[in-house]
Amino acid sequence: MKIKLINPNTTQRMTDVMGRCAREVANAGTAVVAVSPPSGPPSIESRYDDALAVPGLLAEIAAGERDGFDGYVIACFGDPGLYAARELARGPVIGIAEAAMHAASVLAPGFSVVTTLARTRGMAWELAERYGMRRFCRNVRATDVPVLELDRPGSPARGRIVDECRRALDEDGAGAIVLGCAGMVGFAREIEQTIGAPVVEGVTAAVKWVEALVALRLATAKRGDYARPLAKRYDGELARFGPGADGLPGGATGIEPTTGTGAQATTQATAKITTATAAEPAPPPVHIHPV
């Protein structure tokens, strides 16, 4: 099984940590390839950032279809481009906010989200509403730590996150915590031990969800809303994203990420997967219903 984990921002050091944590929980037969798009914002902390991260994300999804990935994780808590990505992908595509909220909802009667900047609280509430999690979400709390400060040596991030988690348990009546940023992926177990309550981060939760769906041989529906885009020509800077006859950007072979970290990481990691799995038997086919 091959899962492509896409960090929609361009900060490779964060992507590397996400990939390492994802591989720690993945099954022995699962290869997780973690990439960042070659273009886009270095962090996603606004709706503007969110919107401009989507083209690079979709290019990685399209390239993943060409390379035969079985499923995808969108590793940003805003779940940017999630539904558009599902239109392109045959296998399951899971956003980390979606995965974390659903996991927390079965671990406790209610959860609070602890995120980065206060300006993103509204976005988190909207996601809770979209996913049917509003009745479980007790609060969305901000630490006011910028995303790129999360892993900086000497950053106060962990201490502030722990403080907000404790307040969530005491003041919100939350029984579990959802970490509201993919950059917090390496913090979960330490925080859980410190506060004595379940702490869910969506990167690893999403990886396990994709694994389960692929193991069940379930694929993304290709009828209705998640059907491939209609073929048409796009103009200007977005010309390369125009869907071909197969619904993928660039025609039947899909779209290649432009030069950069995403393209290089995908090429190198796919080569490693091919070498490592050459002797393994092919998995059973996933049956895709035609449009």
The whole-number pLDDT of residue 165 equals 98
**If you average pLDDT over every residue of the chain, what do you get?**
89
pLDDT grade for 254, boundaries at 50, 70 and 90: very low
Domain boundaries, the chain: 2-96+206-277, 97-201
CB count within 10 Å of CB 22 equals 24
What distance in Å separates the CA atoms of residue 47 and residue 119, rounded to the nearest whole number?
A: 10
Alpha-carbon span 176 to 277, nearest angstrom: 38
Beta strand extents in 86-226 (DSSP E only)? 93-95, 111-115, 137-142, 176-179, 199-201
Which two structure tokens, joined as six digits, stand for 67?
């390379």
CA–CA separation, 78 and 72 (whole Å): 15
Which fold would CATH assign to domain 2-96+206-277? Rossmann fold (3.40.50)
233-238 own/partner pairs: CB under 8 Å, 24+ apart: 238/55
- Reported as a single tens digit per residue, the pLDDT across 35-85 is 999 999 999 999 999 999 999 999 999 999 999 999 999 999 999 999 999
Backbone angles phi, psi at 95, to 5 degrees: -90, 150
30, two tokens? 């699962």
Identity of the residue numbered 211: E
**Helix %, strand %, coil % of the chain (to 5):** 50, 15, 40
Specify the fold of 97-201.
Rossmann fold (3.40.50)
Q: What residue type is 30 in one-letter code? A: T
Low-confidence winner among 151-155, 217-221, 260-264, 281-285 (lowest mean pLDDT): 281-285
- Is the pLDDT reported for residue 258 higher than 70? no
Phi, psi of 208, deg, nearest 5? -70, -35
Stretch 177-197: mean pLDDT = 96
Q: Which of 155-159, 225-229, 274-278 has the highest mean pLDDT?
A: 225-229
